[in-house]
Structure 1
Amino acid sequence: MEIVVVGRHTDVTDRFRSHVQSKLDKITQLAPTAQRVDVEVTHEANPKLADVSERVELTVRAKGPVIRAEAAADDRNAALDIALDKLVERLRRTRDRRKDHRRNYVLAPVDVRSYDAVQAAEPEPEPQTPRLEKDGDAVEKQLGDSPVMIRQKLHHAEPMTVDDAVYQMEMVGHDFFLFIDKESARPSAVYKRKGWTYGVITLDSKVDGLEPVSDLT
């Protein structure tokens, strides 16, 4: 299993890389098919955020779903421990789910909304902007002359059900998850609402070359 450690706005020492290697060895026990673990370390220079100045994001990439966890603390070793605890718990849930094909949670009624596809013309990327070509590629770009930074990231999408999308969202620890609805062949996004309810936004535009399951005979 390959472990890739990168730093954003910070340097990563060889000592910390070795520490990460020893800590992540246990992942192979819970995810034997894991091919790579991406470890992203970010430093926040704002003194007002000193308590969460070190952020560690862990992403396990395997043949199955991508599992992700992140945490922030005043020390990157502490942030690593917290993120690893979250990751281990999600890996265990994934392993248990494979053992039992029955759903281990009840999906609350979803609020499905359909929107007309908005064909917005996007400006051509500037020559100096790196292209996003493979799963996991990310790039940051400043919005004009403003201090706003926009981070773009490319993700590979497999058609799945709403039920599976909710599960994937929980596994990566996000409040939303983009996916292609297997039943309608439309780009969709599932998101968390209040309590144990979820919502789904579906674009009124089908993916080329993909037939809806409901339309198949």
Structure 2
Amino acid sequence: MDIDITGVGVSISDRFRSVVEDKAERVENIAPRAQSLGVKVTHRLHRNRVEEETVELTLEGKGPLVRAEARDGDKFAAFEMAIDKLIEQVRRAKDKRVRGRMHPKHAHFEKGTGSLEGIDVQPAPADVIHAVATGTIPVAEGAEEEPYSPVVIRTKEFQPEWMSVEDAVDRMELVGHDFFLFIDSRTDHPSVVYRRRGWDYGVISLTTQAQPQAVAA
């Protein structure tokens, strides 16, 4: 497995490289088909003069990417937390595939009831869908609104991917996020699955259908 280590605002010492190579053996043991492990270390100095190291891991191989991220004042501690997250995500994905083979479930849409069967996904409440559609967020009674800030923390753009809700849940678990954007292959609606309390999941869909991009000859 190839290992690529990059530093942003911080130098990468031989000692850090040695630690990464040593811990990477744990990844190879649980993910023998992995082809490369990307390690990105970013140094940040906040306004209060507090320094922070962010370690981002990206595991590539046959199948979807697996990502993990951790922050700490020490890059070694941040890497340890990130590698533990990455291994746990791979382990959970493997366990889920094994359970799926032993107890196969197939998600399907019941036209009569309008429910999605075969997967533990609950539709988003009507007020949540309305808030997403209108761009308004309901504020609980007695709560104060957060002050407006024009600063964009992070912006990412992705190419649309058509998949089932069940596959989107699996991808969300692999990347270790609390939500995952996708195009529902059943309806062509832009959708997002998200983690609810416990092991429940929710799904929000827009009513506008997405059009597949034309492939240049």
Match of 1:35, SS state, is strand
Change (3 A) 1:28 1:194: closer
Residues 189 and 210, structure 2, Cα contact 8 Å, conserved in 1: yes
Change (3 A) 1:49 1:191: farther
1:111 pairs with one of 124, 129, 140: 124
Aligned residues: 182
Q: How far, CA to CA, are the matches of 1:3 and 1:35 in structure 2?
A: 9
Q: How far, CA to CA, are the matches of 1:182 and 1:197 in structure 2?
A: 21
Name 2:41's counterpart in structure 1. Answer: 41
Name 1:18's counterpart in structure 2. Answer: 18
Q: How far, CA to CA, are the matches of 1:29 and 1:157 in structure 2?
A: 32
Name 2:142's counterpart in structure 1. Answer: none
Change (3 A) 1:154 1:13: farther
Match status 1:199 vs 2:187: no
> How far off its partner does 1:76 sit?
0.8
Match of 1:17, SS state, is helix
1:176 pairs with one of 179, 182, 205: 179
Match status 1:73 vs 2:72: yes
Match status 1:55 vs 2:54: yes
Name 1:27's counterpart in structure 2. Answer: 27
Structure 2, gaps ≥5 residues long: 106-117, 134-148
RMSD over aligned Cα atoms: 3.4
> How far off its partner does 1:45 sit?
0.8
Q: How far, CA to CA, are the matches of 1:18 and 1:157 in structure 2?
A: 38
Q: How far, CA to CA, are the matches of 1:96 and 1:32 in structure 2?
A: 15
Residues 57 and 69, structure 1, Cα contact 8 Å, conserved in 2: yes
Residues 30 and 95, structure 1, Cα contact 8 Å, conserved in 2: no
Q: How far, CA to CA, are the matches of 2:96 and 2:32 in structure 1?
A: 15
Counterpart AA for 2:162: P
Q: How far, CA to CA, are the matches of 2:8 and 2:152 in structure 1?
A: 14
Counterpart AA for 2:99: D
Structure 1, gaps ≥5 residues long: 117-145, 211-217
Name 1:135's counterpart in structure 2. Answer: none
Residues 111 and 198, structure 1, Cα contact 8 Å, conserved in 2: no
Match of 1:44, SS state, is strand
Residues 108 and 196, structure 1, Cα contact 8 Å, conserved in 2: no
After TM superposition, the score normalised by the length of structure 2 is 0.68
Change (3 A) 1:5 1:157: farther
For structure 1, which segment, 76-85 or 17-26, has the greater mean C-alpha deviation from structure 2 after superposition? Answer: 17-26
Q: How far, CA to CA, are the matches of 1:76 and 1:148 in structure 2?
A: 26
> How far off its partner does 1:108 sit?
4.1
Among the aligned pairs, what percent are the same residue? 43
Q: How far, CA to CA, are the matches of 2:29 and 2:183 in structure 1?
A: 31
Match of 1:178, SS state, is strand
Name 1:143's counterpart in structure 2. Answer: none
Q: Counterparts of 1:133-152 in structure 2 under 5 Å?
A: 148=151, 151-152=154-155
Counterpart AA for 2:45: A
Counterpart AA for 1:99: V
Radius of gyration: which is bigger? Answer: 2
Post-superposition CA distance 1:183-216 (Å, at most 9, x none):
1122212223455544323233333349xxxxxx
